[in-house]
Structures are given as structure tokens and as C-alpha cells.
Amino acid sequence: MTAIAETSTGVRPCPIGSVVDLVFSRWTTPILWTLHEHGTQRFVELERTLGITPKVLTQRLRQMERDGLVTRTYHPEVPPRVEYGISELGESLAPVFAALTQWSDQHLPAVHQARAVYSGPLPR
């Protein structure tokens, strides 16, 4: 196990910060969720399903492939076909997503209620 170094102020940084940055960035979670739920997808399928621009999808998929979360399979056909799948490392996040889904189902109504109380009644 790797020890987490203290900052110059002597405070230990949040141990999950790096994981949150990696997994919960804007498009990473929806891409992983889609590949987990629907299996291997072609680029255009992901683009349509997620409503993401090709440029951003390309950037995210490259980062996720670099980080080992997705696999890219090139099929040398005419026309060429490229498919993306969730890697074993990406699949290892399934319990995390399941726990967050359960938390969401149980607690989001309370969050919405707290927001309504905080904001007060809408002006007329």
C-alpha cells in the first residue's frame, strides 16, 4: 500500500481526490456507465447515446484508454471499424457505481427537500 504524503502544511490530502478526478470528470462516468450497461460500442453509438460532441468524446476516450478504464479495438475492414469496451479495471468500478445509485435512490429526495427549504418559497 502506498503512503500518502502530507502537504507542506502538514495536512494529509484527501485519499480519494485522485480517484474522484479520474472517474467522476464530466464525461467519464456516463461513458463508463454506458459501456458497463450496454457492452461494447462503436464511436458513433456512444456519441448518439450520450449526446456528446465528437471532439470531446475523442478526448475522453483517449484519456480513459490511457488510464486503462476502456479498451479500443481496431478492426481493419473497409470502412475501418473501431469499438470501445469497458476494461477489467473499469469494470472494477461497478460496485462503486452501484453504491452511488443506491445512495441516490435513498437520499436524493432529501437533498431536493433540503434545497427547497434553503431556497425558501419562490417569489410570486
Over residues 18-30, the mean pLDDT reads 88
Number of structural domains (the chain) is: 1
Residue 33 lies in a domain: yes
Residue 79 lies in a domain: yes
CATH (domain of 72): 1.10.10.10
Q: What is the pTM of this model?
A: 0.78
Question: Which one is predicted more confidently, 2 or 36?
Answer: 36
**Structural domain span for residue 99:** 17-116
Residue 69 lies in a domain: yes
Residue 46 lies in a domain: yes
Residue 42 lies in a domain: yes
Print burial letters for 13-34: b (CB count within 10 Å at least 16), e (below 16): eeeeeeeeeebeeebbeebbbb
Summarised one tens digit per residue, pLDDT across range 36-84 is 999 999 999 999 999 999 999 999 999 999 999 999 999 999 988 999 9
Instruction: Check residue 92 and give its pLDDT.
Output: 95
Percent of the chain with pLDDT over 90: 69
Residue 11 lies in a domain: no
- Distance between CA atoms of 34 and 46, rounded to whole angstroms? 8
The three cell numbers locating residue 63 = 484519456
Residue 24 lies in a domain: yes
Residue 83 lies in a domain: yes
